[in-house]
Chains A and B, each alone.
Chain A
Amino acid sequence: MRRLLKVDRGLGRDQGLNLATHEATSAEVTHSVPSPRRTPARRTSAYLTKHPRTRLALLLSAPLFWLVVVYIVALLLLLMTAFWRVDTFTGDITREWTFDNIVTVATGALYQTVTLRTLGIATAVTVIDVAIAMPIAFFMAKVASPRAQRLLVIAVLMPLWASYLVKAYAWRSVLSKDGILEWLLAPVGLHSPGYGIPATVLTLSYLWLPYVILPIYAGLERVPDSLLEASADLGARTTRTMGSVVLPLAFPAIVAGTIFAFALSLGDYITVNIVGGASQMLGNLVYTNVGAANNLPLAAAIALIPIAIIFGYLALARRTGALDSL
């Protein structure tokens, strides 16, 4: 250390550079930089650097525990419950294996109608959201200035800061017989759709729109501007560029967006309660069976329907290659 100080002083003087290089040649200078101390943390780091498998195990154990125990096991338990039945006298669950619940759900007219209605609503919501999200996402990603882009992202995210219930009840108020929509539409001879399936579709579309815009926006942002310019340069008009370049490249992102809108709609039962009038969706049936009817096995069997549908949808999406880039 003393040596180092000396060098420092040398540098301060005139022609100190020469002095410094002179001293640097002496062997003692090697001691001037202290070698790192062997602390336990350091030894652990060294051990982990040499053993990549241990490193991987430590890194993955916590998330894997969460995924397997909390997530997959819970799903499997649900699946198992669907094959039990409820004692009609005591109301207790009897752990006897039976296909009764599955058969009831698969053949019952009520369940078929509600399944079809739920599917229809989810599909309508998905289509509407993509139709609205595409132009907004394109404008955000390719037209707006960087400043406007930031503001728009905030604007899209803003509704997510408000509670789901607040937004659903806001729509209930908007759609009511003497609500703002009626007041706006009456002068042009139109009326608010009132409560029912159209109101449910409208409200769900509103609720899930940010989840559709954001992945599409992210996908479009990844498409370099030069590709659009190249397409125009090679003679393609705007619609052609959209069809041949933008859509194919944004397709995985669009599918990702539809998965959000579709899956979230499929499982929803609160919105339909608030603005759906008397209409029921699959979620409502599950809810009634868990609560009022106290038939957990039947509820589990009903819950398997949206799970099956969403698995089918994911399989379809995977076939298009849309999940490859996620």
Chain B
Amino acid sequence: MSEVPAIRLTGLTKDFGSVTAVDHVDLEIAEGEFFSMLGPSGSGKTTVLRLIAGFARPTSGTVELFGEDVTNAAPFDRDVNTVFQDYALFPHMNVLDNVGYGLRVRGMKRAARHERAMRALAAVRLDHLAARKPAELSGGQRQRVALARATVLEPKALLLDEPLGALDLKLRQQMQVELKQLQRQLGITFIFVTHDQEEALTLSDRIAVFNDGRIEQLGTPRELYERPASRFVADFVGTSNLFSAEHARALLGREGEYSVRPEKLTLSREPATASGTRSAVGTVVESIYLGSGIRRVIDLDAGPRISVLERNERSGAAQGHGERVHVSWHDEDVVALMPPGT
């Protein structure tokens, strides 16, 4: 990785009136990285993206692109391009002119412009629709036109604002693969804003989890999932069983708050005896068949209601309602959470 980061944010803050949308965010994103900003709506992730693109000016702090301070530069003076949530295709231009718009603005001649735009369209397999208007395309096709329009200018970084949010599940999964391939092919930094934790985990090299305008945790998908640092991250990224300090003392014999993933728990009729494992007794309240697995909701006698994910491999092992079971876990799978506000 090069020394100068593709994007560096220092003390970035954005207030809207009395609301602080982005609160002292420090962040470095490397060249060629697929970086996701994940968080619920209103967490400030989209505002950070808009500050990088230049659609808004920060209240304080700086934005650097490849070491150059662009905090107060206009969007048209920044070497980044954006794929908008609503695609923002120009409705009065056909697909080819949409893709060629950035080139036309830069004064490229018509023939050269069309050739470049056609190549970009071919890369997203839409060259056969070049003469269509955006209104005549499907959602997935519009999405790809927006991608072609942004990448034809060969930006140093591509900013994507929930680009897959409007697509149905099947198409979204297909576009995820295409995005990842495109990023590898272009070798440029992708900054991807999403509220879909699964999407972020699938695509990203690194993820920043946003909450209330701050970065709650920054790390690789594995780090975030296996070692969530806070209650918020444990809850937002995947499903977690959270143990309050009181329950943790009773069940885990530890001080502080803890989290255990549902798939790390096992159910048995006898208490677990292996070293490093503990177990607790509870009652099955609900069994939900998921196809690939079975989710069981269990009321622990000495603790909270928890969720256990069993793989769908043994038939007949299903416990029914009201059945008493032992829930066991390995000590290593218990993740300590930082108290909120640290």
Contacts and interface: CB of A to CB of B under 8 A. Distances in A.
Interface of A: 224, 226-227, 229-237, 240, 244-245, 248-249
Contacts of A226: 84-86, 88
Contact of B55 (A229, A234, A235): A229
A230 B163 CA distance: 14
Given A227-B90, A245-B90, A249-B92, A232 B84 contact: no
12 contacts: A226-B85, A226-B88, A227-B90, A231-B90, A233-B80, A233-B82, A234-B76, A234-B105, A235-B106, A240-B105, A244-B105, A245-B90
Given A229-B53, A237-B74, 11 more contacts: A226-B86, A231-B90, A232-B54, A232-B55, A232-B74, A233-B75, A233-B80, A233-B82, A234-B101, A240-B105, A244-B101
B153 interface: yes
Nearest to A245: B90
B76 A229 contact: no
Contacts of B84: 226, 229-230
A224 B81 CA distance: 18
A230 B88 contact: yes
A160 to B, nearest CB: 32
Given A248-B92, A249-B91, A234 B86 contact: no
A234 B91 contact: no
A230 B76 CA distance: 10
B88 A236 contact: no
B149 interface: yes
Nearest to A230: B88
A20 B91 CA distance: 57
A229 B83 CA distance: 11
Nearest to B75: A232
Nearest to A240: B105
B328 to A, nearest CB: 35
Given A226-B86, A230-B88, A236 B53 contact: no
Contact of A229 (B80, B88, B91, B150): B88
Contact of A234 (B54, B74, B81, B85): B81
Contacts of A232: 54-55, 74-76
A244 B82 CA distance: 19
B53 to A, nearest CB: 6
Interface in B47-79: 53-55, 74-76
Contacts of A244: 101, 105
Nearest to A227: B88
A214 to B, nearest CB: 22
Chain B's interface: helix, strand, loop or mixed, by majority? loop
A123 B311 CA distance: 78
A235 B150 CA distance: 11
A235 B88 contact: no
B176 to A, nearest CB: 23
A123 to B, nearest CB: 27
A77 B85 CA distance: 57
B102 interface: yes
A235 B84 CA distance: 15
A236 B76 contact: yes
Contacts of A230: 82, 84, 88-90
A263 B82 CA distance: 44
A247 to B, nearest CB: 10
B76 A237 contact: yes
Contacts of A249: 91-92
A233 B105 contact: no
A186 B235 CA distance: 74
A226 B53 CA distance: 12
A245 B89 CA distance: 11
B332 to A, nearest CB: 44
B105 A235 contact: yes
A130 to B, nearest CB: 20
B86 A231 contact: no
B82 A235 contact: no
B48 to A, nearest CB: 15
B125 to A, nearest CB: 22
Contacts of A227: 88, 90
Contacts of A236: 76, 101-102, 105
A231 B75 CA distance: 9
A34 B165 CA distance: 45
Q: Which 5 pairs, one residue from A and one from B, show the smallest C-beta to C-beta distance?
A: A234-B102, A226-B88, A230-B88, A232-B75, A236-B105
A224 B86 contact: yes
A224 B76 contact: no
A233 B106 contact: no
A227 B81 CA distance: 13
Given A229-B75, A240-B105, A234 B92 contact: no
